Each structure stands twice: as structure tokens, then as C-alpha cells.
């Protein structure tokens, strides 16, 4: 069996893909809903506007209008994933199922890259396959691998970069170095925190400089130059866009307003739920503990590779501390960088268990078989509208609400607390208000000077205000709590 596995690893990677496809089969046709719908809606609006309006990759657009732009540009990560999916739309036509399938294919690439990374790190095909299998059924990866968030491409780039880097340490092939640098640049462009995965090559280069001196480290100097040149476009993008950011990501914990009790509650959640349940999978926790045990028993710190990986792990923990207030108990996809050190340890634990002669090892290895069931059952509600934590009438009557105003109508949208979900569901652009504050003279200004013709409201406080109601021509539709009004055109 071992010889068959080592001879035909791609068959087993295909098996992982087949199991994942089967478990996701009923998810591909689903429209956007579920956990972190707001982030998915933002990404999908980028994709739609690349396809429908402006294919310039430098202009990722959303539907929430401003007084300056009807479809404003919001530049955060470099939108290579969004632009690439829009390019596929040019062939297939616009479809959210196509988005899900493309993101899923990126996820399968991540699984394949994880296999190669573990193979080059551990020198054991069986352990590498087991690690890739376990990684595929991390609940956070299992859910987001069909969801349009750029973290999927960033993770794939990071894993691929490390796979080619550790292959370079064996082959000394410049092709591997170039591919590693390219994948790192791609991953970091897709999401800035993935620059953390430059740590292993940086440690490798700097340790050579300290041991041999820069003048005697020509190969390492060239390697550093390759990474630097490939990273220049990514650095240029972030140098351009970061000054425009106005959220808490840049300030991190230094702008935190968390109380001591909130910090303790969040730490408790991360310890009891985030790490063992959402990131790892309870079935893989025994293998993670085995990996930690054997790392200590075998004195893994005596190997240079350990310190390359440890430098990466320390930076990831530093990132976790810096963004702690932003991550909280909600943003589990911010934690995806942890998947690499976690599943490297799991694969290492599998390798050491396979080498044991005691039959107790099969007890631990049997947990691998439980992973698909746990991931599937743990996440099966994550795709449901209830998990979006939005007004359920929006999802319940989405087709009626979408058709209440003609295509291309510019609208006022009341009570979309995170800006993107409401406008995505009704497929309209316009002025989005996150709360119930909307004076009547604002409505008058928007309809007279900015071409707004309809208003979607779930707030009786707003739409029953006489000054606001004076702008209505008629009530077009009422579905649950949501009313659609046509505005006067005078």
C-alpha cells in the first residue's frame, strides 16, 4: 500500500478533490448567503463591475454610490482574483455559481500546494497526503473554499511560495526560486498579511549572510534580489492604496477600544473554539498534539528548517496580536494564515506516528477518517441566510425585491449595516445608509440632483417620516418588513 501511495500520489489528491466536490455539490448552485455575506458581497460586486462596467484591474468598484461616483472604486487588496473571475465571465456569462466554482478550483490548488510543501518539508509522501487531506477539512477552509473572498487566493499563493522555496533548498534550481517569489507576490497582492510567509526565505538568506558574510553569499544575494524584484509591483500597489484606507486594519490593536472582559472573552473563544474547532477540526486535534509531542521529543529545533518555520509562526502570532481587536470572535478568515503552521505540525505528527511500531498509532490515525464528517456537519448551516445576520426578508423575497425597480435604477437603500449585502441582493446601485438616519431634504437632494428614482426601506422610522414621504410617488411593493417606493421625478 505504501508503495502504491508513493507511486501514485496524484490519484489520492484526486480522491481528496472528489470527496470535497461531493460534499460541496449542493453548495455550488446557492446564491450568496451565509457567514460573512458582507465580505462576499463586496468581492462579488468587484467581479460584477469588472465584467459589466470597467474591466480596468486598477478600478475595483462597488454599488454603494457617493456624491462623486455612481460606482465608486474601493482599493484594498489588489483585485487579481476578482478580475480573473470577471475574465472567465467573458466566456461563461455572469453567474454566481461560476464564482463559487472558480474559488473552489483555487482551493483545490491550495490542497495540491499543501501536499507538495509537506512532501518537500517532511520527505514522506504518506504524511504529506494525510496533511493535505486534513487541511482540506479544516472547517474554515472547507467553508470559504466556495466563497468569494480574496483570502483564498492569498492562501494558495502563500502555500505555493513555501512549497517552491523548500524545493529550492533541495534543488538549488532558479526556476523554483522564481516560482516561489512569484507565488509570494501573488499571495501578498491578494491579501497584505500574507507577506508574513516571506519569513522562511528571509531567515534562510539572513542566516547565510551571518554564517558566510554577504561577500561570500552570492547565491543567497541573488535569491534575495529575485524576491525583491517580484515583490516590487505588490509594494507599489500597497504604497498607493494604504493611505486611502480608513478602517481599523492599519491601526490594529493600537486603536482598540476593547474592555478587559471583552479581551478575556475573545481569548477564551479562540482557545476553545477558534483554534481547535474552526481552524483545525476536532478530529485533527489529537494529531496536532502528536505533532507537538514529537517535535519536542525529536528536538526539532536542532534543524535549520525548524527555525525557518518558527520565524513564520512567530510573525503570524504577532499579526494575530496586532489585529486581535479586528479579528474578535467574528473574522475567522483573518485567521487563515494559521492554517500553514497548524497543518505542518499535523502532518509531522502523522509522519512520526507512521514510524511507530506500537498499535496505538492506529487509534490516532483513525481520526483522519472523521474529518470530512465533522467539517461537513459543523459548517452545513454556514451557507444559510440566517448565518448572514441580515433582515431575512431580503433573502426570502429577493427575486421580487430585485424586480421591484427596473434594471439600472439608482436607489436609496435603508439599513444595510455593512454596505454591500442589500445592494447585491437587489442588484441595484445607489446611496446606502447603514442606519435609520435620513432627513427628508437629503432624499429630495438625491432624487433631484443625483438621479435616484427608488427607495428600499426596512425602517418605518424613515419611510413614515412626513418629510421623507413627501418625496414618494407611490408604494411599489411591500415584502415583509421591506417596502419599495418610487420617488417623484419633479
Kindly give, in sequence order, each residue whose CB lies less than 8 Å from that of residue 466, ignoring residues fewer than 6 positions away: 440
Residues forming a β-bridge with 414? 433
Structure confidence by residue, pLDDT tens digits, 271-283: 999 999 999 999 9
Q: What are phi and psi of 429, to 5 degrees?
A: -105, 160
Least confident interval from 55-59, 81-85, 362-366? 362-366
Q: Is 274 helix (H, G, I), strand (E, B) or coil?
A: helix
CA distance 351 to 121: 11
Q: Is the pLDDT of residue 255 over 80?
A: no
The DSSP 8-state label assigned to residue 30 in this structure reads P
Instruction: Quote the cell numbers at residue 118.
Output: 509537506
At 259 the pLDDT is: 86
CA distance 427 to 45: 9
Q: Is 434 helix (H, G, I), strand (E, B) or coil?
A: coil
Beta strands across the sheet bearing 454-457: 429-433, 410-414, 454-457, 482-487, 472-479
With cut-offs at 50, 70 and 90, classify the pLDDT of residue 215.
confident
CA distance 311 to 387: 36
CA distance 44 to 100: 10
Average pLDDT of span 156-170: 97
Sign of CA dihedral 80, 81, 84, 86: negative
Q: Is 482 helix (H, G, I), strand (E, B) or coil?
A: strand
Average pLDDT of span 59-76: 81
Structure confidence by residue, pLDDT tens digits, 281-308: 999 999 999 999 999 999 989 988 999 9
Own/partner pairs, 460-465, CB within 8 angstroms, 24+ separation = 461/436, 462/414, 462/436, 462/438, 463/414, 465/438, 465/440
CA distance 218 to 433: 58
| Residues 476/385, Cβ–Cβ less than 8 Å | no
Average pLDDT of span 12-32: 95
Residue 124 CB-density burial (10 A; 0-12 exposed, 13-18 middle, 19+ buried): buried
Average pLDDT, the chain: 92
Q: Is the pLDDT of residue 64 over 90?
A: no
First-to-last C-alpha distance (Å) of the chain: 79
C-alpha 305, offset from chain centre: 27
Structure confidence by residue, pLDDT tens digits, 385-426: 999 888 899 999 999 999 999 998 999 999 998 889 999 999
Q: Is the pLDDT of residue 258 over 90?
A: no
At 362 the pLDDT is: 83
| Residues 72/104, Cβ–Cβ less than 8 Å | no
Q: What is the dihedral of CA 301, 303, 306, 307, to 10 degrees?
A: 80
Q: Is the pLDDT of residue 429 over 60?
A: yes
Structure confidence by residue, pLDDT tens digits, 91-141: 999 999 999 999 999 999 999 999 999 999 999 999 999 999 999 999 999
Average pLDDT of span 136-156: 97
At 279 the pLDDT is: 96
Residues forming a β-bridge with 410? 429
Residues forming a β-bridge with 472? 487
At 6 the pLDDT is: 66
The DSSP 8-state label assigned to residue 397 in this structure reads T
At 404 the pLDDT is: 95
Share of the chain above pLDDT 70, in %: 96
CA distance 361 to 122: 19
With cut-offs at 50, 70 and 90, classify the pLDDT of residue 251.
low
Sign of CA dihedral 431, 433, 436, 442: negative
CA angle at residue 455 from 452 to 458, to 5 degrees? 155
At 358 the pLDDT is: 80
In the block, residue with C-alpha cell 425585491: 401
487: left (phi > 0), else alpha (psi -120 to 50), else beta? beta
Q: Is the pLDDT of residue 2 over 70?
A: no
Instruction: Quote the cell numbers at residue 197.
Output: 510567509
Instruction: Quote the cell numbers at residue 345.
Output: 505540525
CA distance 125 to 88: 34
In the block, residue with C-alpha cell 518537500: 120
Average pLDDT of span 440-468: 93
CA distance 301 to 318: 20
Share of the chain above pLDDT 90, in %: 79
CA separation, residue 313 to residues 17, 205, 344, 422 (Å): 28, 18, 11, 38
At 247 the pLDDT is: 66
CA distance 180 to 403: 48
At 254 the pLDDT is: 62
| Residues 451/430, Cβ–Cβ less than 8 Å | no
CA angle at residue 131 from 130 to 134, to 5 degrees? 85
Q: What are phi and psi of 373, to 5 degrees?
A: -65, -45
Kindly give, in sequence order, each residue whose CB lies less than 8 Å from that of residue 448, ignoring residues fewer than 6 positions away: none
Instruction: Quote the cell numbers at residue 130.
Output: 494525510
Amino acid at each position: 500500500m505504501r508503495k502504491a501511495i508513493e507511486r501514485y500520489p496524484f490519484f489520492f489528491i484526486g480522491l481528496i478533490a472528489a470527496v470535497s466536490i461531493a460534499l460541496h455539490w449542493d453548495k455550488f448552485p446557492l446564491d450568496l448567503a451565509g457567514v460573512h455575506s458582507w465580505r462576499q458581497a463586496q468581492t462579488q460586486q468587484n467581479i460584477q463591475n469588472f465584467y459589466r462596467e470597467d474591466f480596468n484591474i486598477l478600478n475595483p468598484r462597488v454599488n454603494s454610490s457617493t456624491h462623486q461616483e455612481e460606482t465608486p472604486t474601493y482599493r484594498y487588496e489588489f483585485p487579481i482574483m476578482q478580475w480573473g473571475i470577471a475574465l472567465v465571465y467573458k466566456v461563461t456569462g455572469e453567474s454566481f455559481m461560476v464564482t463559487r466554482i472558480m474559488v473552489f478550483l483555487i482551493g483545490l490548488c491550495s490542497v495540491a500546494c499543501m501536499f507538495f510543501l509537506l512532501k518537500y518539508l517532511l520527505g514522506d509522501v504518506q504524511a504529506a497526503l494525510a496533511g493535505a487531506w486534513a487541511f482540506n477539512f479544516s472547517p474554515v477552509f472547507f467553508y470559504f473554499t466556495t466563497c468569494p473572498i480574496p483570502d483564498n487566493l492569498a492562501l494558495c499563493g502563500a502555500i505555493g511560495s513555501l512549497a517552491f522555496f523548500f524545493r529550492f533548498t533541495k534543488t538549488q534550481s532558479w526556476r523554483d526560486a522564481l516560482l516561489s517569489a512569484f507565488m509570494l507576490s501573488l499571495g501578498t497582492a491578494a491579501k497584505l498579511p500574507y507577506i508574513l510567509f516571506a519569513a522562511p526565505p528571509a531567515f534562510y538568506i539572513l542566516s547565510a549572510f551571518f554564517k558566510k558574510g554577504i561577500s561570500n553569499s552570492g547565491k543567497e544575494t541573488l535569491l534575495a534580489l529575485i524576491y525583491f524584484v517580484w515583490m516590487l509591483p505588490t509594494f507599489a500597489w500597497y504604497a498607493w492604496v494604504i493611505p486611502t484606507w480608513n478602517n481599523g486594519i492599519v491601526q490594529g490593536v493600537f486603536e482598540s477600544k476593547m474592555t478587559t472582559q471583552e479581551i478575556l472573552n475573545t481569548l477564551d473563544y479562540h482557545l476553545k473554539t477558534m483554534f481547535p474547532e474552526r481552524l483545525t477540526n476536532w478530529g485533527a486535534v489529537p494529531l496536532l498534539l502528536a505533532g507537538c509531542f514529537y517535535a519536542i521529543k525529536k528536538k526539532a529545533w536542532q534543524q535549520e528548517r525548524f527555525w525557518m518555520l518558527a520565524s513564520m509562526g512567530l510573525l503570524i502570532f504577532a499579526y494575530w496580536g496586532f489585529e486581535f481587536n479586528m479579528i474578535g470572535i467574528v473574522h475567522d478568515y483573518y485567521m487563515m494564515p494559521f492554517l500553514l503552521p497548524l497543518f505542518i505540525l499535523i502532518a509531522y505528527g502523522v509522519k512520526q506516528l507512521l514510524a511507530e511500531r506500537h498499535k496505538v498509532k492506529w487509534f490516532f490515525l483513525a481520526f483522519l477518517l472523521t474529518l470530512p464528517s465533522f467539517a461537513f456537519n459543523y459548517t452545513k448551516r454556514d451557507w444559510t441566510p440566517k448565518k448572514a445576520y441580515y433582515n431575512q426578508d431580503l433573502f426570502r423575497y429577493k427575486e421580487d425585491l430585485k424586480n421591484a425597480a427596473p434594471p439600472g435604477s439608482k436607489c436609496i437603500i435603508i439599513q444595510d449595516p455593512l454596505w454591500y449585502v442589500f445592494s447585491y441582493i437587489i442588484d441595484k446601485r445607489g446611496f446606502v445608509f447603514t442606519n435609520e438616519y435620513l432627513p427628508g431634504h437629503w432624499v429630495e437632494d438625491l432624487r433631484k440632483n443625483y438621479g435616484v428614482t427608488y427607495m428600499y426601506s426596512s425602517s418605518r422610522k424613515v419611510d413614515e417620516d412626513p418629510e421623507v414621504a413627501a418625496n414618494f410617488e407611490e408604494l411599489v411593493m411591500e415584502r415583509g418588513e421591506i417596502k419599495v417606493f418610487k420617488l417623484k421625478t419633479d
